[in-house]
């Protein structure tokens, strides 16, 4: 298993729950949006399901919103997120060092996230991580290319590498499934927001409990 991962020349990283911990900013932004609909949430942990999946689909899934209401919820979410939530975030310990060692080993690194590209770039630049990545690929603000499989396909096409030369790293089933749709293996990280059961059921090629374990799988 590790030989296949060690041989990968291109490594695609999810952002939320993989490179950074966005819990505070995302849950506060969701709570802000829900207040528009008269919904009060006192427990931020109850909103952690919004970390990872496409935002509009999450409002529909968790709160039964129709298309129009989900669009309105996304707009309210972004009001808070743009102003404050985007920086209520933290880089996981060891991530900058991991990225530096992967880069030094000659690996090409890209970000593949369902978060809009403009927000992903702002976050990575804020934390000094953008320079490690040859490209940052996310969704569009209008909601297109939010599906993780589409994001990964776009990143692969842009990279010039084939799926046999690449690996995806992420913390949710969407990352694992999106990678499989594009015929590349995925490593699930257990320090994020997906459980072992979720990632194994999705077909993760390997699992890493810590950033240190992730490094051993990739190098």
103 CB-side CA count, 13 A: 14
C-alpha torsion angle, residues 15, 219, 128, 149 (rounded to 10): -20
Paired sense of beta strands 108-116 and 20-21, if any? unpaired
Distance CA 103, CA 55 (A): 31
Task: Specify whether 14 is catalytic.
Answer: yes
C-beta separation of 159 from 166 below 8 A: yes
Marked catalytic residue, from 3, 14, 16, 142: 14
In the numeric block, the tokens 């008269």 are attached to 38
* Active-site residue list: 14
């Amino acid at each position: 298993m590790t030989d296949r991962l060690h041989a990968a020349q291109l490594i695609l990283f999810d952002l939320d729950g993989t490179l950074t911990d966005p819990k505070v900013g995302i849950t506060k932004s969701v709570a802000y949006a829900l207040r528009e609909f008269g919904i009060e949430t006192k427990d931020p942990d109850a909103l952690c399901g919004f970390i990872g999946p496409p935002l509009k689909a999450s409002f529909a899934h968790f709160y039964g919103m129709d298309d129009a209401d989900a669009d309105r919820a996304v707009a309210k979410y972004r009001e808070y997120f743009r102003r404050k939530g985007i920086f209520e975030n933290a880089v996981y310990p060891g991530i900058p060092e991991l990225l530096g060692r992967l880069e030094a080993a000659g690996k090409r690194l890209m970000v593949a996230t369902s978060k809009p590209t403009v927000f992903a770039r702002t976050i990575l630049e804020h934390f000094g991580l953008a320079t490690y990545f040859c490209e940052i690929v996310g969704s569009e603000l209008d909601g297109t290319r939010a599906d993780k499989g589409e994001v990964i396909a776009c990143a692969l096409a842009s990279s010039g590498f084939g799926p046999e030369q690449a690996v995806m790293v992420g913390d949710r089933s969407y990352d694992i499934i999106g990678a499989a749709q594009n015929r590349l293996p995925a490593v699930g990280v257990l320090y994020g927001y997906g459980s072992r059961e979720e990632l194994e059921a999705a077909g993760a090629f390997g699992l890493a409990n810590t950033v240190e374990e992730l490094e051993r799988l990739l190098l």
